[in-house]
Every structure is written in structure tokens, then in C-alpha cells.
Amino acid sequence: MKKFLVAAILAGVSLSASAAETIRFATEAGYAPFEFVGADNKIQGFDIDLANAMCKEMQATCTFTNQSFDSLIPSLKFRRIDAVISGMDITAERLKQVSFTNAYYDNSAIFFAQKGKFTDLASLKGKRVGIQNGTTHQKYLMDKHAEITAVPYDSYQNAVLDLKNGRLDAVFGDTAVVQEFLKQNPSLGTVGDKITDQSYFGSGLGIAVRQNNTELLGKMNDALAKVRQDGTYKTLYTKWFQQ
């Protein structure tokens, strides 16, 4: 047996297709607390911790790469990656292209601007609002608020920079991410109420896999259920959202 193992290793044969499957995740890591690049240059955040906990459950090796948000679904379809975890809302439109795990987070969206400058969404009429390319925020603005000028960015941080230096009037994003930015920038504040419109943000965040990849989808849903049951999910939720 030992001889066979050595021979197999020398021949470059993968011994462990099932024992140590590799799942290639991609994300856009400019979206704290879901995913961001830490001081050590490593991608971290709630999504990464959750994916790693699920990978441990699946006995899989997981890798994470960072790329633009609007390239994530195309990369999945082209098989460059196996899964997307990126604070991604489960939407009917995306479900035409990919499959999603069960929801792992209840999402909502909110606008923010210089404190006291705008009272409500109506006051943003004709104003420049930053959104990230390929997001539900972009689609929501285009569909529902044609009176607001949507300014697309690849990097959410750059949108916030432009808000701070006056090139934008407001920015629109996921509530938890906005709260994180507000913590770091006390001169900024939210505008209007949280938006939970089901058809855009309401069905929660999910992990996307290719549509025909039912095996991986099943494993992931099992792993997600497991980490919810054993308390890991709760620990991670508290770590990233309740401090």
C-alpha cells in the first residue's frame, strides 16, 4: 500500500479527490465586514470565516481570490472558480445564471451622505450617488430612482473617498457595510430608512455555485445547516456584526 502511495505521489496523481477536495472561492474583498484585505494582506471577514467553517465541515480545502464584483458570476460560469461568497444577494435575475445556497444572512440596503445634508430620498433628486458595478444597488437605483444619478465604481472604498471629498452627494450599499464606514467616518450619516424590497435585497445573501453543480450545492447546504446547529454561525455573527 505504502509503495502504491509513493508511486502515486511521484506520478502526480491526486489521491484525495473526495478526502481533500479543493473549492475555489472568489470574492470582491473591499466590503468589510463581509470581506476585506487585512493588514497581513490576507482576505478576511464574516463571509471568509463562514466559508472556512463550512469547508472544515465538508473536509475540503478552500482557496479565496479577490476580483471585481461584476466579474464574479462570469468567472463561475467559465469554471475559473467553483463558488462565490461576496455579500451577494439571492435575486431572481442571478438565479437565471447560477444557483444559490440557502440564505445565510438577512440583508438590507441604505443610503449615506454628509451628516445633516439630506433629509430623505426625495432630497437626493438630481444628486450623484455612488454604487458598485454589478450590484443590486445599481439595479435598484436604475429601476426605481431614475431621478437620482447613479455613478458606478469598481471599488466601494473609492466611492466613499469621493463622497468625503465632495465628488459624490451620497453612496448606497448594504446596511452592515454602511455601518462599518460610518463607524470610521463620524462626519457621515444615513439618509432615509433601510430598504428591504424583496425583489432586490429581500431574500438574503447566498453562496453562488454553477447551476448544474448540484453535488457541491447539496454539500454546502448541509455544511451551512451544520455550522448553524453547532453554534459556529452564531459565534461568527457576533464576532463580525455585534461589536
Interface with ligand ARG includes 168 (CB under 6 A)? no
User: Cα–Cα distance between 209 and 79 in angstroms, integer?
Assistant: 10
Distance, CA of 96 to CA of 115 (rounded, Å): 39
Identify which range of 53-61, 132-140, 142-150, 163-171 contacts ligand ARG by CB under 6 A: 132-140
| Residue from 49, 57, 169, 174 binding ligand ARG (CB under 6 A) | 174
- Residues in binding contact with ligand ARG, number by CB under 6 A: 17
| Grid coordinates given for 222 | 448541509
Residue 88 as a binder of ligand ARG (CB under 6 A): the answer is: yes
When the beta carbons of 103 and 226 are compared against ligand ARG, the nearer one is: 103
Containing H/E element for 241? helix 232-241
Q: Judged by CB, which is closer to ligand ARG: 118, or 201? A: 201
Binding mask 56-75 for ligand ARG (x = CB under 6 A): -------------x------
Pairing relationship of beta strands 109-114 and 188-195 according to DSSP bridges? antiparallel
Question: Which residue type is seen at 143?
Answer: D
Distance of CA 139 to the CA centre of its chain: 16
Which position among 31, 112, 118, 172 is part of the footprint of ligand ARG (CB under 6 A)? Answer: 31
Q: Is residue 49 a contact point for ligand ARG (CB under 6 A)?
A: no
* Strand 43-44 to 35-37 pairing: antiparallel
Among 62, 76, 87, 217, interactor with ligand ARG by CB under 6 A: 87
Site membership for ligand ARG, residue 35 (CB under 6 A):
yes
Per the CB < 8 A criterion, the answer to whether 91 and 52 are in contact is no
- CA–CA gap between residue 84 and residue 80 (Å, rounded): 11
Say whether residue 28 binds ligand ARG (CB under 6 A): yes
- CB closer to ligand ARG out of 49 and 174: 174
**Minimal distance, residue 17 CB to ligand ARG, in Å:** 30
Of 43, 89, 75, 36, nearest to 62 (Cα)? 43
Q: Are 159 and 153 contacting, i.e. CB atoms less than 8 angstroms apart?
A: yes
Cβ pair 150, 138 in contact under 8 A:
yes
Residue 175 lies near ligand ARG (rule: CB under 6 A): no
Are 96 and 194 in contact, with CB atoms under 8 Å apart? Answer: no
Q: Determine if 99 is a binding residue for ligand ARG (CB under 6 A).
A: no
The residue within the footprint of ligand ARG, chosen from 44, 101, 136, 232 (CB under 6 A), is: 136
Answer yes or no whether residue 180 interacts with ligand ARG by CB under 6 A.
no
Residues making contact with ligand ARG (CB under 6 A): 27-28, 30-31, 34-35, 69, 86-89, 107, 132, 135-136, 156, 174
